[in-house]
Chain A
Amino acid sequence: MLGFVVQRAFQAFVVMVVMSMIVFVGVYAVGNPVDIVIPPDATQAMRAEAIHRLGLDLPLWQQYGVFVWRLLHGDFGRSFVYNMPVLDLIGGRLPATLELVLISILFATGVGVSLGVYAGVRPSGLVAKSIMGLSILGFSVPSFWVGLILILTFAVSLGWLPAGGRGETVEVFGVPWSFLTLDGLGHIVLPALNLALFKMAMMIRLARAGTREAMLSDTVKFARAAGISEGTILRRHVLKLISIPIITVFGLELGSTVAFAVVTETIFSWPGIGKLIIDSIGVLDRPVMVAYLVLTALLFVMINFTVDLVFAAIDPRVRSGKTRT
C-alpha cells in the first residue's frame, strides 16, 4: 500500500509540473497585457518602464523560472491590476466560493438523492416521471439562463431575495462567512440554487439508477420476503448500496462545481474566485490567471489522488494495477 501511495503521489507531482508549464505557456503565449493595462497614450518610455516593471521583458523560459522560484517561496507574484500579492487576492475570495460550492453541492446531493431514490422505488408513477422530466430539464437548461430567470423572478418581480452580492458576513477566525447571518443566507439562496440545479439533475439519475438495481438485488428480495418494512429496506440496504458511487461522484463533482461557479458568480456578482478569474481574463491579468489555474489543477489532482487512495483501500485489485479507475 505504501508503494502505491508513493507511486501515485509521484504521478500527481509530475502532473502538477506538466500542468503548471502548460498553463504558464498557454497564458503567456497569447495576448499582450501591456496593450490593455497601459493607456494607449503612454509614451514609449512609460511603456518600456511598465513592461520592465511587470517582468515582461524577460524571455519566456526565464519568466517561467522566476515564476517557479517564487512559487517555491510560496509567492504567486503580484497582480498586474491591483499590485497586490495574488495569493492575498485569491485567499480573500476563496471563502466566498467555498461556502457557495459546499452549500449548493450539499443541497444538490440531499434533494437529488431523495428524489432519485423515490423515482427508483416507484419508477412508473406520475411523480417519478415528473422527477425524471425535471432532471432532463436540469441537464438541458444552460445555467446562466436559469440564473437570469431566478433574478428576474425572485429579486426583481417578487422582491423576496437580493439579486447579487454577498450580504452581511461574520468573521470567524479572521475569515468572513455569510451563511452565518440571516442577511448572508438570503444572499446565498439564489446563487446556490442556480449552481445546484445541474448537479441535482445528475444526482437524481445516479440515485434512481442505483436504486432500481438495488431493488432487484437478492438482498432486497430476501428482505422483502422476510416481511421487513419498505422504509427499513430503503434505509438499511438500498441507501447503503448506492452510497458508494454517490460519495465518489460527490468528491469528483466538488471540483467541477468550483469551475461552474465561474458562471454563477458572474451572474450574481458573488465575490468569489470565479468572478475574479473572469475579471482577470478580461484585462489579461496573467499572474491571477496562472495562479487560479494552477491552484484549480492542484485541487483536481488532490481530489483524484484521494479518490484513488480510497478506492485502493476498498479494492485491493486496484493496488496491483489490474483495473483502471
Chain B
Amino acid sequence: MTEILSAAPAPASPLRLFWREFRRNRLATAALAVTVALALLAAFAPLVAPQNPYDLAHLSLADARRPPGYLGTGGYVYLLGTDPQGRDLLSAILYGLRVSVEIGLAAGCIALTIGATFGVLAAYAGGWIETLIMRAVDLQLSFPAILLALVLAALLGQGKAQLVTALVAAQYAYFARTAYGAAAAERRKDYIEAAMATPLGAGRVVFRHLLPNCAPPLIVVATVQIASSISLEATLSFLGLGLPVTEPSLGMLISNGFPYMMSGRYWISVYPGLMLILLIMAINIVGDQVRDQLNPRLRR
C-alpha cells in the first residue's frame, strides 16, 4: 500500500490549472468552502462567539441545560441550548472547534516536518542511515497509530502539549514513508547522481529536486493526517486520556454531554458531534480530490 502511495509523483502543474480542475468537482468545492469557513471560525472564535464560555463570571447556573432557542436570564437567546454549567453551547462549540483545529494543525505540521526530514535524509544519505531510519519507520507503521497514541497519552498525562506529542509520535512515520518514497525515486535518477558529483551539489539537490518532488504526495498525506489527528484527539479525549474536562475540544464536549443523552438532553452532545463530523468530512473530501488530481493512479 505504501508502495502505491509513494509511487511516481505527478508532474508539477500550474496552480491555476489545478484550481480549474478542482472547481469542476462541485462536492469538493463545497467541502473546501466549508473547510475554509470552519478554519476561519476557529481562528476568530473569540470575536465570533456570542459569549466567552470560559469566563466564569458571565455564566449563570440558572440557565443550565436549557434546550435550543431558550431565552436566557441575560436576555440572550441560546440558539443551540446550554450545557450543564449554563454555558452557551454555540460558543462552547466554536471554542471547542478552535481547540480541535489547533491540535490537529499543530500535530499535523510538526509530524510533517519531522517525517519529511527523516524521509528525505534517508533517501539522500543512503547506506546505514537509510536502513536504520526506514527500518524504524516500517516497524512503527506496522503498529496502529491509535494504540501508540493511546499509550503515550496515558503515560504523558493530560494537557495540550502532551496530546500533540502523542499524536506526532503516532503519525510522523506516515510522512517519513511518503517523503522517502518520492525522494528515493528521484534520487536514483541519473541527473541527480550527476549533480551530486559537483561541489555545489548537496544543498541544491535536496532543496531544488528532492523536496519539491516530495511535496505533492506529502500534501495529500497531510490532509488525511490532519483529519485523522482531529479524530484521534476526539477519541482520546472521549476515553478520558486527552484534554482536561475544563479545556474542552469537540471530542471532550461530546464526552461531557453524553451522560445527558439518555434523558433526552441530546443537544449537549449531538451538536458538537455534528460539528466534528462536518469538519473531518470536509477535510477528507478536499483531500480526496487533491489526491485524485495530483495522481490519478494514487488510490487507497
* A and B directly contacting (CB within 8 A): yes
Specify which chain A residues have a CB less than 8 angstroms from the CB of B251 in the assembled complex: 142
State whether A209 touches B142 (Cβ < 8 A): no
State whether B276 touches A145 (Cβ < 8 A): yes
* Extra pairs beyond A31-B155, A289-B151, A324-B3 (11, CB < 8 Å): A15-B139, A27-B151, A27-B155, A30-B155, A140-B231, A141-B280, A143-B235, A144-B238, A152-B262, A252-B1, A263-B146
Q: What distance in Å separates the Cβ of A139 from its nearest Cβ neighbour in chain B?
A: 6
Q: Chain A interface: which of B85-93, B214-222, B281-289?
A: B281-289
Chain A: which residue is nearest B27 at the CB level? A133
State whether B300 touches A142 (Cβ < 8 A): no
Residue B207, interface by CB 8 Å = no
Q: What distance in Å separates the Cβ of B251 from its nearest Cβ neighbour in chain A?
A: 8
Q: Chain B interface: which of A60-68, A230-238, A253-261?
A: A253-261
Residue A121, interface by CB 8 Å = no
Chain A: which residue is nearest B282 at the CB level? A140
Interface size, chain A (Cβ < 8 Å)? 45
Q: What distance in Å separates the Cβ of A166 from its nearest Cβ neighbour in chain B?
A: 20
Q: Which residues of B come within 8 Å of A, CB atoms?
A: 1, 3, 139, 142-144, 146-147, 150-151, 154-156, 227, 231, 234-235, 238-241, 251, 254, 258, 261-262, 269, 273, 276-277, 280-281, 284-285, 288, 299-300
Specify which chain A residues have a CB less than 8 angstroms from the CB of B300 in the assembled complex: 202, 205-206, 209
State whether B281 touches A30 (Cβ < 8 A): no
What is the number of contacts between chain A and chain B, taking CB atoms within 8 Å? 96
Chain B: which residue is nearest A18 at the CB level? B139
Q: Tell me the bound Cα distance from A252 to B156 in angstroms.
A: 29
State whether B151 touches A260 (Cβ < 8 A): no
Q: Tell me the bound Cα distance from A143 to B273 in angstroms.
A: 12
Task: Report A261-315 residues with CB < 8 Å from chain B CB.
Answer: 262-263, 266, 278, 281-282, 289, 293, 296-297, 300-301, 303-304
Given contacts A139-B284, A141-B277, A281-B241, contact A259 B151 (CB under 8 A): no
Q: What distance in Å separates the Cβ of B253 from its nearest Cβ neighbour in chain A?
A: 12
Q: Tell me the bound Cα distance from A139 to B241 in angstroms.
A: 22
Chain A: which residue is nearest B241 at the CB level? A281
Residue-by-residue, is A147-165 near B (CB-CB < 8 Å gives 1, otherwise 0)? Answer: 0100010001000000000
